[in-house]
Amino acid sequence: MVTDKPDNLDDGVSPIAFYLDRGLGVPTYLQFVHQVDYALRLGFLRAGDQLPRIKDVTRSLAVNPDTVMKAYRELELRGIAAGRPGVGTFITRAPDVAGFKQMAMLQKKLTTWLAEAAEAGVDELGMKALFTAALRDFNDGGGAAPRLPGRLEPRREGGAA
Amino acid sequence: MNAIETDGLGKRYRQTWALRDCHLTVPVGHVAALVGPNGAGKTTLLRILAGIATPTAGTATVLGYTPGSAQARDAVSAVDQTLPLYRHLRVRDLLAAARALNDQWDTDLAVQRLSSLNLTMSGKVSKLSGGQQAQLALTVALARRPRLLLLDEPLASLDPLARQEVLGWLMTCVAEDGLSVVFSSHIIAELERVATYLVVLSQGQVQVAATVDSLLDSHLALTGPAGEADHLAGQVPVITAQRAGRQTQVLARTDAAPPGWTPRPVTMEELVLGYLREPSARVLPRLEVAR
């Protein structure tokens, strides 16, 4: 998609601001990547929007500029954002609508499963444990699971059990 | 170009070696965290690099210069816990003295910074709070426009909000001027977002020296059956292991989990604590690829 001009923004101001979740144990750069992804899915960010400027993030959150740059490189690799030298980093592409519908459908199925689990007396922690175990088995079984790039998913090649 | 480089560096105080056979290289452009238990030699190392202490053995350079030389003094600023301020002066006079003593002096930076902190120019330095003195010392250090900043826990006296604000300011200097920083800290939770290079000192020697990214990429937390822990140690380098009846948690230096072990990425905090618990484990700089 061609980059749109932001129409309703002050010069150089991003519609979103990053935050840090210290309890997560997720690398900081990946937290930023996830926050952009989330903001796109919820419509807080659109194509053409500027991401927070590196110096603004470093000042407000006291993070190393490398961390922000790393997050923006990751977003560029994923084809979501592009840097304009001397200006900043901008959203180039929002997730497509078909993806949204599919996600909604999948969530509905999961909700049905959750209701069944609750019916069977499984509590929230139990549900999470089941989901995590199933996901691990799926990955171990060499299932072509789409894996997130980055450290969240340690490399395990040819993991057929 | 290296921000700091030491070769066989040692420092003895009477019978005790505070620093022994220290080989360390930190490239420029990094924010390097210096971590280690009390008495590990952090302050001694920083004092040698700042040109305040002289080594007993070996050599050290900062930005390629001998610590304490004229070039090094121009290019390097250091702030330690004692906050080297002229306490009997008024803030205004301290700034005037600093300007007179330094060839490069950024008056705008100093004045802007101090007015944003609401420090009265006519107040005496000795009347400032510990936190304000730390802020003043840092302002003087950065108004000299150094290329390398050495910090020995100067933020310890700041309240959490001021600490966050100062770190944010420091990171802005890193982003805008390419400032290199070496700082000692006990606050491990802070390291992951601030530091790009980690140096762990233990008993006067360098235990770990590597980029944060390379360390996180080359270590995994592994969970597996307790009985397999010894077998695992034969397959991959195990830094620390916490054994329970059936399950063992292991910090290992590997990027792939052996069969039967569930991997999880490590956090900086786990990594640092793991190495601090096991002072004999090493990640030496020679093994690292240059940035």
Instruction: State the average pLDDT over residues B131-148.
Output: 90
Q: Tell me: pLDDT of B34 over 80.
A: yes
Q: Tell me: pLDDT of A150 over 90.
A: no
**pLDDT value, residue B6:** 95
Higher pLDDT: B115 or A96? It is: B115
Q: Tell me: pLDDT of A141 over 80.
A: no
Question: Which chain B residues contact residue A58 at CB under 8 A?
Answer: 168, 171-172, 174-175
Q: Which range in A34-38, A99-103, B148-152 is most confidently predicted, on average pLDDT?
A: B148-152
CATH of A1-95, one of 2.60.40.10, 3.30.420.40, 1.10.10.10, 1.10.3470.10: 1.10.10.10
> Cβ contact (<8 Å) for B175 and A55?
yes
Name the 3-class secondary structure at A88: strand
ipTM reported for the complex, 2 dp: 0.73
Distance CA B28, CA B47 (A): 19
3-state helix, strand, coil in chain B (%, to 5): 40, 30, 30
A136's enclosing H/E stretch is helix A124-140
Instruction: State the average pLDDT over residues A101-116.
Output: 87
In the 3-class helix/strand/coil scheme, how is B207-257 assigned residue by residue?
A: EEEEEHHHHHHCCEEEEEEHHHHHHHHHHCCEEEEEECCCEEEEEECCCCC
Instruction: State the average pLDDT over residues B96-111.
Output: 88
> Cβ contact (<8 Å) for A25 and B171?
no
What are the tens digits of pLDDT across the range B142-154? 999 999 999 998 7
> Cβ contact (<8 Å) for B267 and A63?
no
Whether residue B28 lies within 8 A of chain A, CB to CB, comes out as no
**pLDDT value, residue A99:** 64
Whether residue B106 lies within 8 A of chain A, CB to CB, comes out as no
Distance CA B60, CA B249 (A): 39
CATH of B2-213, one of 1.10.645.10, 3.30.1370.60, 3.40.50.410, 3.40.50.300: 3.40.50.300
* Minimum-distance CB partner of A66 among B190, B196, B220: B196
The answer to whether A50 and A89 are in contact (CB under 8 A) is yes
Q: In chain B, whose CA is at the least distance from the CA of A23?
A: B189
Q: Which range in A5-14, A71-80, B219-228 is most confidently predicted, on average pLDDT?
A: A71-80
* Secondary structure letter of residue B283 according to DSSP: B
Where are the domains positioned within chain A? Answer: 1-95, 97-140
Where are the domains positioned within chain B? Answer: 2-213, 214-279
Model pTM? 0.79
**pLDDT value, residue B232:** 86
The answer to whether B77 and B149 are in contact (CB under 8 A) is yes
What are the tens digits of pLDDT across the range B232-267? 888 888 898 887 778 888 999 998 888 888 888 898
Lowest mean pLDDT among A59-73, B11-25, B102-116: B102-116
What is the tally of helices (H) and strands (E) in chain A? 5, 2
**Could you tell me the pLDDT band of residue A137, with boundaries at 50, 70 and 90?**
confident
Instruction: State the average pLDDT over residues A31-35.
Output: 93
**pLDDT value, residue B242:** 84
